[in-house]
Homo-oligomer: A and B are copies of this chain.
């Protein structure tokens, strides 16, 4: 029998406790022995819960109990998650976490301590909730040179964008609905500004390159400026707009960004909707594969945590080679990244044709009935070139009354 402790009896933590109980037999079979919960650390008491007699308020009890071999961190945030996890690893305990902030900020150090102490630091649940996506990198796609990872990694924003797409909702109304359903926080910034997606794509990029990725190096743009008008164009073009986290690796160089992107119907992520997540991985031999499922939620996320507990139990005496080294992976400047661009322009195309062509070259034109604007879809160019083209257009148009570029959204070809 192997003993565990859970730090934090919130949504995920209580989910882990539930699965350890409900799937006890399956877990014991896979882990090679029974997995027993010994402590739950929380500031609160839970007198009517099944863990009432396991609640402790003092972390030291867990840190110093030699019987506890695997510690599950589901508190979230950095403090006290970081010092607690570090202390557990230093005490020779395996640690399993669902905490993307922790992994993105301190993963390199914690992985190094785990290696040094010959224990394991696993974090399958930190990206993509219940979707197996960390493990495929070190267990499945081992023979591949990974060329691209693109994911819909945040269920909240995907729910909002799906509402806007299917029901013509405004961003504000869709956000309100997400909040009413409990999908979005009262302060939705971390989701809608792309910070959550940024940390997740940083973790996946580090898994793929084997090097530390600083999430602050990743260009991050939220989806708050996407409007219902954009989706009207998208509908006409047969495309959709998704908040993507992407990294592309080529000849040792890595580009990475988080941004709303217009994708075509045949893109594997096109039909990933509502609160679901999907992660597309392109390898040099494999081509494209895609992993899809519940990117959040109590039991799916807890299920990923439990798979880590089992892997730790299977490898009690050895460090499984996963993660990344302390070598830093540079991220190329965003200016060099290439896209086609969806550009909405004020006025009528008839009056602007010449200036548009001079600035953007040959571009597909999309006009919607009843709007005093139009859109163009450019051919592929770099961010740098796009900025130059937009500036050139602005200069030409200056002084006109129906002047201006109203929206720019990146697109993939």
Partner of A303, one of B19, B143, B299, B300: B143
| A237 located at the interface, meaning its Cβ lies under 8 Å from any Cβ of chain B in the complex | no
Q: Decide if A292 touches B289 in the complex (CB within 8 Å).
A: yes
Within 8 A of B (CB), among A256-306: 268, 270-271, 283-294, 297, 299-300, 302-303, 306
Q: How far is the CB of A56 from chain B (nearest CB, A)?
A: 24
Does A402 touch B at the CB level, under 8 Å?
A: no
**Closest partner residue, chain B, to A313 (CB atom):** B142
A11 within 8 A of B: no
- Most chain B beta-carbon neighbours within 10 Å: one of A26, A31, A285: A285
Tell whether, in the assembled complex, residue A144 and residue B303 are in contact, meaning their CB atoms are under 8 Å apart: yes
**Chain A stretch 114-164: residues in CB contact (< 8 A) with chain B:** 124, 130-132, 135-136, 139-145
> In whole Å, how far is A249's beta carbon from the nearest beta carbon of chain B?
12
Chain B residues whose C-beta falls within 8 Å of the C-beta of A19 in the assembled complex: 143, 285
Q: Does A55 contact B (CB under 8 A)?
A: no
Contact between A30 and B143, CB atoms less than 8 A apart = yes
Q: A23-B284, A303-B283 are in contact. Are A289 and B143 (CB under 8 A)?
A: no
Q: Is the CB of A136 within 8 A of B132?
A: yes
Contact, CB under 8 Å: B290 / A143: no
**With an 8 A cutoff between CB atoms, is A309 at the interface?**
yes
A223 within 8 A of B: no
Please give me the residue from chain B that is nearest to A280 by CB atom.
B292
The answer to the question of A36 belonging to the interface, with a C-beta cut-off of 8 Å to chain B, is no
Interface residue count on the A side (C-beta < 8 Å): 46
**A22, CB-defined interface residue at 8 Å:** yes
A302 CB → nearest B CB, Å: 7
* Contact of B287 with A143 in the complex, beta carbons under 8 Å: no
CA distance A168 to B40 in the complex (A): 59
Distance between A69 CB and nearest chain B CB, rounded to angstroms: 17
Instruction: From B268, B285, B303, give the contact of A285 (CB < 8 A).
Output: B303
Contact B303 A286 (CB under 8 A): yes
CB < 8 Å: which of B27, B141, B310, B311 contacts A132?
B141
Question: Do B135 and A140 have beta carbons less than 8 Å apart?
Answer: yes
A287 lies within 8 A of B140 (CB) = no
What residues of B have a CB within 8 angstroms of the CB of A303 in the complex?
A: 141, 143-144, 283, 285-286
Question: In the complex the two chains form, is A143's CB within 8 Å of B307's CB?
Answer: yes
- In the bound complex, do residue B271 and residue A286 qualify as a contact, i.e. CB atoms below 8 Å apart? no
Please tell me if the beta carbons of A286 and B294 are within 8 angstroms of each other in the complex: yes
Report whether A140 and B294 are in contact in the complex, using a CB–CB cutoff of 8 Å.
Answer: no
Question: When the two chains form their complex, are residues B139 and A135 in contact, meaning their CB atoms are under 8 A apart?
Answer: yes
Known contacts A140-B307, A271-B271; A284/B130 CB under 8 A: no
Interface flags for A4-26 (1: CB within 8 Å of B; 0: not) read 00000000000100010011001
Q: For residue A300, which residues in chain B have a CB less than 8 angstroms away from its CB?
A: 285-287
The 6 closest A-B pairs by CB, nearest first: A289-B293, A143-B306, A132-B140, A290-B292, A30-B142, A271-B271
A/B interface sample: 26 pairs, CB < 8 A: A15-B285, A19-B285, A22-B284, A22-B285, A26-B144, A27-B142, A27-B143, A124-B140, A130-B285, A130-B286, A130-B287, A131-B289, A135-B139, A136-B136, A139-B139, A139-B140, A142-B307, A285-B300, A286-B299, A286-B300, A287-B293, A287-B299, A289-B294, A290-B292, A290-B293, A291-B291
